[in-house]
Homo-oligomer: A and B are copies of this chain.
Amino acid sequence: MHSPSDFLLAAKRCELGGLEHLREMVGLVSRIADLVHELQRERGASNVFLGSRGAQFGAERQRIAERAAALEADVRTQFAALDESATAGTCGMRLFNRIAMALAMLEGLALLRQRIAVQQLQPVQVIEAYGEVIGCLLAVVIEAVDSAGDPAISRLLVALFHLMQGKELAGQERALGVVAFSTGHIPREQQTRLLDLIDREERSFAVFMEFAEPCSRQTWLDLNSNAVMLEVERMRRTLVAAHGPLAADAAVTLRWFDQASRRLDAIRDIEQSISDALAALCEARIGEARADLRDQTSLLLKSEKIGPLPAASIAVFMDYPAAGCADASPPVGLLSASGLGPQLGSSVIDLLQAQAQRIQDVSDELAKTRATLNEGKLIERAKGLLMARRGLSEEHAHRLLRQTAMNQNRRLVDIAEATLALIDLIPDTP
């Protein structure tokens, strides 16, 4: 590579390569979403099974576990097929580390299933165990999302991730409800946990709504005003308002499981339609980038034949960064204005100009999307810090942050940031 044209085309090839990698990531995320959905179902069914002391869902649980194992194999195939060279540097390091962690967690599933089969575990342990596996799978998704370099795709991925996150919280809620209804009582701390889950679900879904495309948003609104959601809300009220034993039996448990599952399945449908939209978007963007690359290549070849244009035609350069600022700075441009500009064909300059502008636009867009992703991370980290330093439960830590934010009329993320900044002021509680 020697000339400006060479590097112009190299930049375009990088964009294309990035999009192709992104398509691979989108495929991976879809397979993970499939697996996560089945694991959530397995968790719920396992809890009905344990709650009924093995009377219900014995065969059902088996079938779901087999489907989950098949989907796990698909995910493993996708992992194995990843191109190491396409994910160099920090991004690759993070992604592969998360995958290593997720694979390590998946190795534990067989033993988990055995113990559930012989009813050796408490339902609450089952909830935690599946939650850990799914958490590690979602951690892979977040790395895939973070590496997206295309604003439209990045927005949809952020929407999808938050939908998956909210759905997992809803899955935990379903499992918690199954335990409560099947045992006929819900301890105080599980009520708090339920409220916390609902609150976090809503936060995740709010981000989803911010970034999703109109069609999914409408489906979501419909879903939230239908009969299923109404019944889920009624049963939620029963759970959080209970003092003492719940007037519940196997039928009520199944009813809750059924309605909560319908809700999860409906969310799953939205997930799939976003996945499909993402796949289509990737194809479209790759098609565009390929066409651009083809057009630019032939244009640049042609312009090299024509030879350099008069220097006066390069005033467009003036929009480019000037001395001492080196980033998206305003016109100064005497090198061009004084007719001293580069001796290049106008097509090269047009392309350079257009590409620089597009890169700036893309960066601005991405920065906005990433800010949202980072806010979520900040809140989780502040929560983790409070849990580690002050020995709080996740629910308690979350409530503390939220309460502080409300009292001070500030955003949750600001309080989280302040918490992290004051890390050294928070003493360890043994």
Knowing A111-B343, A311-B111 touch, does A327 contact B88 (C-beta < 8 A)?
Answer: no
Determine if A108 is an interface residue (Cβ-Cβ < 8 Å). Answer: yes
> Which of A12-20, A54-62, A228-236 faces chain B?
A12-20
Chain B nearest Cβ from A418, distance in angstroms: 16
Given the interface pairs A96-B14, A328-B384, A332-B128, the reply to whether A149 lies near B89 with Cβ below 8 Å is yes
Task: Please tell me if the beta carbons of A327 and B104 are within 8 angstroms of each other in the complex.
Answer: no
Chain B residue at minimum C-beta to C-beta distance from A348: B104
**Inter-chain contact B89/A131, CB cutoff 8 Å:** no
Question: A305 contacts the other chain (Cβ, under 8 Å)?
Answer: no
**Residue-wise interface mask of A (70-94) relative to B, using a CB-CB cutoff of 8 A (1 in contact, 0 not):** 0000001001101011111111111
Is the CB–CB distance between A344 and B132 below 8 Å? no
Contact B381 A93 (CB under 8 A): no
- Is A313 located at the chain interface by the 8 A CB criterion? no
| Contact of A242 with B by CB under 8 A | no
Is the Cβ of A89 less than 8 Å from the Cβ of B328? no
- CB neighbours of A147 from chain B (8 A): 89
Task: Kindly supply a per-residue 1/0 record for chain A positions 338-382, scoring 1 wherever the CB is within 8 Å of any chain B CB and 0 otherwise.
Answer: 101111100011001001100100110010000000001100110
In the complex the two chains form, is A329's CB within 8 Å of B380's CB? yes
Central interface residue in A8, A82, A322, A381, by most chain B CB within 10 Å: A322
A contacts with B, residue count (CB < 8 A): 113
Given contacts A332-B132, A384-B329, contact A84 B125 (CB under 8 A): no
The residue on B at minimum CB distance from A128 is B334
> A324 at interface (Cβ–Cβ under 8 A)?
yes
A21: interface (CB < 8 Å): yes
Q: Which residues of B contact A104 (CB under 8 A)?
A: 4, 317, 342, 344, 348-349, 352
Fill in one digit per residue for A293-337: 1 if any B CB lies within 8 Å of its CB, else 0. 000000000000000000100000100111111111111111110
A residues with CB within 8 A of B: 1-8, 10-15, 17-18, 21, 76, 79-80, 82, 84-97, 99-101, 103-108, 111-112, 115, 121, 125, 128-136, 138-139, 141-142, 147, 149, 165, 168-169, 172, 200, 204, 311, 317, 320-336, 338, 340-344, 348-349, 352, 355-356, 359, 362-363, 366, 376-377, 380-381, 383-384, 387-388, 394
Nearest 8 CB-CB pairings of A with B: A131-B323, A128-B334, A14-B92, A18-B89, A90-B149, A11-B96, A7-B100, A138-B326
Can you sample 28 A-B contacts with CB below 8 Å?
Answer: A1-B82, A7-B99, A11-B93, A11-B97, A11-B100, A14-B84, A14-B89, A97-B352, A104-B342, A104-B352, A105-B335, A108-B341, A111-B340, A115-B340, A129-B340, A138-B321, A138-B326, A142-B326, A165-B325, A165-B326, A172-B323, A321-B380, A322-B394, A325-B383, A328-B384, A329-B380, A329-B381, A330-B387
